[in-house]
Amino acid sequence: MEKVVKIHIEKLPEGPYLATSEDVQGLVAQGRTVSEVLEIARDVARKLMEAQAERSGNLALPSLEDSFDYPLIVNA
């Protein structure tokens, strides 16, 4: 089942992007582009959520709804 995880992305002074999350403890990802950091963050979140579910059961994250807002980033 797909879950919604809010992440925070910031551009570091050195150039890459850093993603963290208050929803998934321990989620930290770094990438050269927003797309890359999102892909890495998705993989890290999945692994952390699987480990947490094995230890303590179900996660208290909202499920993906049929309709939601999503920021689309376009390089124009």
Confirm if 3 and 64 have CB atoms less than 8 A apart: yes
Tell me the per-residue pLDDT of 18-58, one tens digit each, with 9 for 90 and over.
999 999 999 999 999 999 999 999 999 999 999 988 888 76
Measured CA to CA in angstroms, residue 70 lies from 4, 7, 18 at distances of 11, 12, 19
Determine the Cα–Cα distance for residues 44 and 12; give it in Å rounded to an integer: 19
Q: What beta strand segments (E) does the chain contain?
A: 8-11, 17-20, 28-31
Helix/strand number for the chain, H first, E second = 1, 3
Amino acid at 19: A
Tell me the per-residue pLDDT of 6-25, one tens digit each, with 9 for 90 and over.
999 999 999 999 999 999 99
* 5 compared with 62, residue with greater pLDDT: 5
For the chain, the domains span: 1-28
pLDDT of res. 44? 96
